[in-house]
Structure 1
Amino acid sequence: MSEKRPGFIVNFFVRAFVGVCMIFFVNEFLAYQGINVAVGMNLFSFLTSGTLGIPGVALLYGISVYHIL
């Protein structure tokens, strides 16, 4: 059991880092296109992208779009 824990923690931080990088680049791309939808880079988005991965990032953008409507 203790052998899996370090792999889970590393996997979480890798997903979180990739997710935050995706948020940054998607925010920049959308701003360049003139679309006013942005997801903040904070602890909540870090935890969401670390837990859910890319679908979590898509969920954050979906919530942002829904908020605009």
Structure 2
Amino acid sequence: MKEKGIEIIINFIVRAVLGAAVIFFVNQFLDSQKIPVAVGLNPFTVLTGGILGLPGVALLYGIVCWEIL
């Protein structure tokens, strides 16, 4: 039971770190292409990436794009 909890925590941390890295590098790429879409790196976006993974990061970019329309 304890091992399952540790596995869930490690999984969350890995997804949060990877999600933050994806946000950082996508923001850098979009900025270099002069595309005004950027997701801020803050505890809420890292939490979203940690809980939902890559689809959560895509959702954040979708929300930002929706706001531009």
Structure 2 length as normaliser, TM-score?
A: 0.97
Q: Say if 2:34 is the partner of 1:34.
A: yes
Q: Which amino acid aligns with 1:30?
A: L
Displacement of 1:11 in angstroms is 0.3
Structure 1 length as normaliser, TM-score?
A: 0.97
Q: Which amino acid aligns with 1:41?
A: L
Give aligned-pair identity as a percent: 59
RMSD: 0.5
Aligned residue pair count: 69
CA distance in 2, matches of 1:18, 1:54: 8
Aligned position for 1:67: 67
Alpha-carbon deviations, 1:17-42, whole Å to 9, x = none? 00000000000000000100000000
Aligned position for 1:8: 8
Displacement of 1:2 in angstroms is 2.3
CA distance in 1, matches of 2:17, 2:3: 23
Gaps of 5+ in 2: none
Misfit runs of 4+, over 3 Å:
none
